Amino acid sequence: MIIVSDVTKSYGTRILFESVSVKFSPGNRYGLTGPNGAGKSTFLKILTGEIEPSNRGKITRPKRVGVMRQDQFAFDNEKIIDTVMMGNAPLWDALKERDALYAAGEFTDPIMERLGDLESIVADENGYMAEIDAAEILRGIGLTDDRHNDLMKSLPTDYKFRVLLAQALFGNPQALLLDEPTNHMDLDGIHWLEAFLQEYDGTMIVISHDRHFLNAICTHIADIDYETVIVYPGSYDDMVEHKMQAHTRMEAENRDKAKKIAQLQEFVSRFAAGQRSSQVQSRRKEMLRLAPTELKRSNIQRPYIRFDQNKAPSREVVTVKGLNKSFGDNHVLKDITLEVARGEKIAIIGPNGVGKTTLLRCLIGELRIDSGEIRWGHGMDKGYYAQDFADQIDRGMSAIDYLMQYETGEGYEIIRGLMGRMLFSGDEALKLTDNLSGGELARLKLAQLMIGKPPVLVFDEPTNHLDLESVNALGEGLSLFEGTVFVVTHDQDLITDVATRILRLSPGEFLDFHGTWEEYLEQYPLLEREHHGRKG
């Protein structure tokens, strides 16, 4: 169990959460939610002890807490199995020091005494079974025994994150804290992770911007809002419904109270100077009792995302015939052929490293193809949202000046209104692009696409820096867009909301499915891949 008692965290005058007291119980899996900037990662770091509260609040945590790290490159020069065992820091430190002392070959009395202490630590931490236990976890995440002594840098990105999860799980932690564990995982990897975490029986707290993932694994939602943490039973969707119902109920109660207070006030006004003073005083007390409940302002904000076309394009959007693209000996795309018509919304899925981003970049002309043909219809302007879009946003200017570069006659006030809809209200629009968070940069890029009004929108993992409300708004905006969409994403809810056609890339295979995500899953259910720990 993790117990939070009277914890406050603020930065200057800005309060993230105040006097929070909450319990996280064993056997429950909590999704930690809230918009970008609400303090989710900060709260998780307070739970781990990495940062301290702003007050004297107290955190009670179990002895062994597993934390999934985010730096996939930190262990590149370590063996895979060693990386897992590093999850138990006291054991790993004792093993390293013990081995170093034995290797030195000097066995003085102080050294022998120290070796005895180290052997006690190893025994207490079940260290004599450490490699066996680590190997078992590695098999569970899909890495066979012949890979365990390879270096971490030999693994593809999604398997590096699996090893970091194994590191967090090593030593049977009583609590597991995960910050965006689905980042860099493809759909099959996320499906595997869902099944894996559903078997964990300790206390689990996870941050994720993937609504489908939260709904699949969570038994409770701990929502950071109203400067506190409120725990709701059930999935993310259950929490949203609970919040809406509670807010609606409180508004209705306040309206009823206001009516009763008006009636009481009328009586008081009529008889305040008369002979019915006791009744007047009674009604004044009743008015105080009926004072409306203060409705604190929620920090949840949802952008308004709508895409328009600047002109009606031709019916034939793009024709691809025999597209081939290689990088050296790596033949990424082989004989890709497809025709796309106006209004189709295409989700491109497949394992990491199979060529999804390469296909997008070939389509928009960023990469030269080796052979084949790509022919776009007349007037097919394209708006491109790249994975690394932040590097393409000019720095050293205000957010509104950045967008004004792209306006085509709308004028300052129209752009300012657009920024308000994208949550850059007031002075937020004047912030320098250098100082914008990842989520703010993402909303700024979306606003740029909305100004351009291209008939073709191309997105490469657009959910990476967006909070749940923004992801939902993006899905709604794309579903209503009358133009053509290409999107690479691992967010199943976004695919469900948007896609009318699915392209699946996998080694040696190209599947072109005309239909929705639900129809695709009926024919091609997400099955756990054969996990052989492929070389990266």
Q: What's the confidence (pLDDT) of residue 296?
A: 58
Residue 373: phi, psi to the nearest 5? -145, 140
Distance CA 1, CA 9 (A): 21
**Which pLDDT belongs to residue 414?**
92
pLDDT, position 530 = 38
- Cβ–Cβ < 8 Å for 254, 262: no
Query: How far is residue 31's CA from residue 392's CA, in Å, rounded to a whole number?
Result: 33
* pLDDT tier, 533 (very low <50, low <70, confident <90, very high otherwise): very low
CA distance 187 to 72: 19
In contact, 127 and 95? CB cutoff 8 Å: yes
- Answer whether residue 185 shows pLDDT above 70: yes
pLDDT band at 534 (very low <50, low <70, confident <90, very high): very low
CA distances 263 to 256, 268, 280, Å, are: 11, 9, 12
According to DSSP, residue 431 is labeled: S
| pTM value surpassing 0.85 | no
- The answer to whether 352 and 158 are in contact (CB under 8 A) is yes
**Every domain of the chain and the residues it spans:** 239-289, 316-397+442-523
User: C-alpha distances in angstroms, 409 versus 230, 238, 270, 384, 451?
Assistant: 46, 44, 60, 22, 10
Residues 6+ apart with CB under 8 A from 361: 367
Q: Do 473 and 300 contact (CB within 8 A), yes or no?
A: no
For residue 74, pLDDT over 50 is answered with yes
Nearest to 504 by CA among 482, 480, 521, 479: 521
In sequence order, what DSSP letters do the residues of 337-396 get, joined into one string?
EEEEETT-EEEEE-STTSSHHHHHHHHTTSS--SEEEEEEPTT--EEEE-TTGGGGS--S
Residues 6+ apart with CB under 8 A from 185: 158, 161, 193, 352, 490
What superfamily in CATH does domain 316-397+442-523 come from? Answer: P-loop containing nucleotide triphosphate hydrolases (3.40.50.300)
| Amino acid at position 70, single letter | Q
- Which is more confidently placed, 405 or 535? 405
Q: How many CA atoms lie within 13 A of 157 on its CB side?
A: 12
Mean pLDDT of the chain, nearest integer: 88
Strand pairing report for 58-60 and 65-67: unpaired
Q: pLDDT digit string (tens) for 313-322?
A: 778 999 999 9
Token pair of 120, please?
Answer: 């006690």
pLDDT band with cut points at 50, 70 and 90 for residue 431: very high
Q: Which pLDDT band, with edges at 50, 70 and 90, does 325 fall under?
A: very high
What's the pLDDT at 528? 39
CA–CA–CA angle 430, 435, 437 (5° rounding): 105
Query: With 70 as the cut, is the pLDDT of residue 497 above it?
Result: yes
pLDDT above 90 covers a percentage of the chain that reads 58
